[in-house]
Amino acid sequence: MLLRKKVCAALIVAILFLMLASHSIQRRHFLPLSLTLPIIQATPTNWERTCGCIESCISDFGGSNWFQQRYDKTQEPVLRTNSIMDPDALKWWLVHLQQSGNDRTPEDVMAEMFKVIPSPTVDFRPLTSRCHTCAVVGNSGRLRQSGNGKIIDSHDSVIRMNKAVTRGFAKDVGNRTTHHFLYPESAVDVDHGVSLVLLPFKLRDIEWLTSALSTGKVKMTYMRVKDRVAADKNKILVVNPVFFKYVNDHWTERHGRYPSTGMLAIIFALHICDQVSVFGYGADEQGNWHHYWEENRYAGAFRKTGVHSAEFETQIIHNLAKEGKIRLYL
């Protein structure tokens, strides 16, 4: 009986010794929980997302170093009365894009414009209470017979550009438009409730917008242009000239003289939307484009991108899809 008690006591001592030894090893080889938390937080979780989307948000950086190196969330994509513009970026915009030989200062031209249209009050910052989806619809002939119309129209915002048409093509391109990107040489009337988004490739383009909404006196840029345009003044947006240089430096990396309308529209969408789908983009190996509404693709339908690098821009678009930042429909 005495022997049995001694054996039990010895076993208890051995178990206590092993427990203490194990605890000592853990203290030596594992960091305290409070120190390991930053490592866990490096991978975004649902409650850390900047928007209300179930899958992902564009403004979430997790998982793509390539995207982090290019995307600058501090950029202001639209011009406002209180916009602070970097002088070097503004100079680049005035000199490097389409010079208009204008002697007026940008400040004077912009101040005159904001007498005709109000400064935008829309807030593009993401909210955890919503998931703002956007479709950016290009004009490539690839849209013909695509059957993507319903998918396009299902997005919260639908961005179209230049002389895009929907009548007769709704099955493939949809019929909703919330934002229409254009410049004087590609101007069309915009339906009430749609945001006309001006891409000012030169100072003269801002003068044209002011005139087209008021006096109609500007009838020429480097070519004859539409002297008046129908649009909802309260919804007009003008892309910030500084944004052009941001896209040129960070995204197209100075390939071509400056970015194309299509490229600017996609990067613009990355800054105002939580999720972006892209439709109707594509060029041939010569950088030519075929518009989906043109019947004969050889009779003026192909347009050389010229000052743009179609090949490099296509590569960027495919990289955005590969990194999970856009959904690309080909």
Q: pLDDT tens for residues 90-136?
A: 999 998 787 766 788 999 999 999 999 999 999 999 999 999 999 99
Q: Which of 71, 183, 258, 281 is catalytic?
A: 258
Binding site, by residue number, is 98, 139, 162, 222, 258, 262, 282, 291, 308
* Per-residue pLDDT at 298: 56
> What band does 2 get if pLDDT is binned at 50, 70 and 90?
very low
Q: Do the Cβ atoms of 205 and 222 come closer than 8 Å?
A: no
| 302 has a pLDDT exceeding 80 | no
- Rounded Cα distance between 102 and 221, Å, is 11
* Per-residue pLDDT at 91: 93
* Per-residue pLDDT at 308: 81
Q: Is 58 helix (H, G, I), strand (E, B) or coil?
A: coil
> What band does 283 get if pLDDT is binned at 50, 70 and 90?
low
Domains of the chain by residue range = 65-122+133-328
- Domain 65-122+133-328 belongs to what topology? sialyltransferase cstii, chain A (3.90.1480)
- Rounded Cα distance between 172 and 154, Å, is 13
Burial label for 45, CB within 10 Å (0-12, 13-18, 19+), is exposed
The winner for highest mean pLDDT among 1-5, 10-14, 19-23, 308-312 is 308-312
Which residue has better confidence, 89 or 282? 89
- Rounded Cα distance between 57 and 105, Å, is 39
| 304 has a pLDDT exceeding 80 | no
pTM, rounded to two decimals: 0.82
Q: pLDDT tens for residues 132-162?
A: 999 999 999 889 899 999 999 999 999 999 9
| 15 has a pLDDT exceeding 60 | no
Binding site for substrate, by residue number, is 98, 139, 162, 222, 258, 262, 282, 291, 308
| Mean pLDDT confidence for 318-322 | 97
- Rounded Cα distance between 316 and 324, Å, is 12
Q: Is 23 a catalytic residue?
A: no
Q: Which of 183, 271, 308, 329 is catalytic?
A: 308
Q: Is 242 helix (H, G, I), strand (E, B) or coil?
A: helix
Q: Is 258 a catalytic residue?
A: yes
* Per-residue pLDDT at 11: 52
What does pLDDT average to over the chain?
A: 84
Q: pLDDT tens for residues 177-212?
A: 999 999 999 999 999 999 999 999 999 999 999 999
